Amino acid sequence: MPNVYSVLADAMVTIHALYVSFIVVGLALILVGRVCHWSWVRNFWFRIVHLSMMGIVVVESLLGITCPLTTWEYQLRDAAAEPIDGGSIIARIAHQSIFFDASPAMFTVIYVVFFSAVVASLILVPPKWRQASSPLAP
């Protein structure tokens, strides 16, 4: 039976993978949504959350800060006496999907370029406030 630290580390890497997925898949859906005329991709709050999440990643990278989700996962793996890429099969897949071998500078470049694409999507597919319907509208 896995110990509590192992389970928490698995949960942490899963949350981390979901965070990354929201950013990457979110941008793809915004661009596809423009072509397919999906109105939900222009939702103001979705777009602000999306931009903010990527902005946090860029700021951390530019300041040389290790992502807290990574730090917490590593601390939990250490407490569980597991290797960094240990845990359940789902956690190993999540870990392998978001971590790869590259220099911190390369990650910073990737994050800044991706953030630039997110900002460009705000111009290409501008968000809209939901308009209140008028009581006099037909």
d(CA 135, CA 72): 51
The 8 Å CB, 24+ separation contacts for 24-27 are: 24/114, 26/50, 27/114, 27/117, 27/118, 27/121
Q: Which residue has the higher pLDDT, 132 or 38?
A: 38
Q: Model confidence over 20-64: pLDDT tens digits? A: 999 999 999 999 999 999 999 999 999 999 999 999 999 999 999
Structure token digits, residue 24? 């990457």
Is the predicted pLDDT of residue 136 greater than 60, yes or no?
Answer: no
d(CA 44, CA 48): 6
> How many residues would you count in the chain?
138
The alpha helices in the chain, defined as continuous H runs, are 4-36, 44-62, 68-79, 89-98, 104-124
SS3 37: coil
SS3 128: strand
pLDDT recorded at residue 85: 78
Q: Model confidence over 63-113: pLDDT tens digits? A: 999 999 999 999 999 999 988 877 788 888 988 888 888 899 999 999 999
pLDDT recorded at residue 92: 87
